[in-house]
Amino acid sequence: MGLLDGKVAVVTGGANGIGRGVSLELAAEGASVVVNDYGVSVDGRAPSSEPANAVVKEIESNGGRAVASPENIATMAGGESVVQTALDKFGDLHLVVCCAGILRERMIFNMSEEEWDAVIAVHLKGHFTVWRPASRYMREKRRGCLIGFTSTAGLEGSAGQPNYSAAKEGIVGLMRSTALAMAKYGVRANVISPEAMTRMTERLPDTRRGQVAAPPEGPAPVIAFLGSDRASHITGQVVHVRGNQVSVWSNPTPLRTVYREERWTAEKLADIWDNQLGQDRMRRLDRLGIQWPPTPQA
Cα–Cα distance for residue pair 296/67, rounded to 1 Å: 60
Contacts of 276 (CB under 8 A, 6+ apart): 256, 258
Whole-number Cα distances in Å, 194 to 16, 43, 45, 91, 295: 14, 19, 24, 31, 35
Nearest to 145 by CA among 185, 173, 172, 86: 185
Residues paired with residue 145 on neighbouring β-strands, in sequence order: 95, 188
Cα–Cα distance for residue pair 187/132, rounded to 1 Å: 13
Nearest to 66 by CA among 99, 95, 88, 90: 90
Cα–Cα distance for residue pair 62/24, rounded to 1 Å: 9
End-to-end CA distance of the chain, in Å?
70
Q: From the candidates 137, 164, 185, 259, give the one annotated as an active-site residue.
A: 164
| Buried/exposed code over 32-70 (b: 16+ C-beta within 10 A; e: otherwise) | bbbbbbbbbebebeeeeeebbbbbbebbeeeebebbbbb
3 state DSSP class of 188: strand
Fill in the amino acid letter for 72: N
Q: Is 259 a catalytic residue?
A: no
Catalytic positions = 164
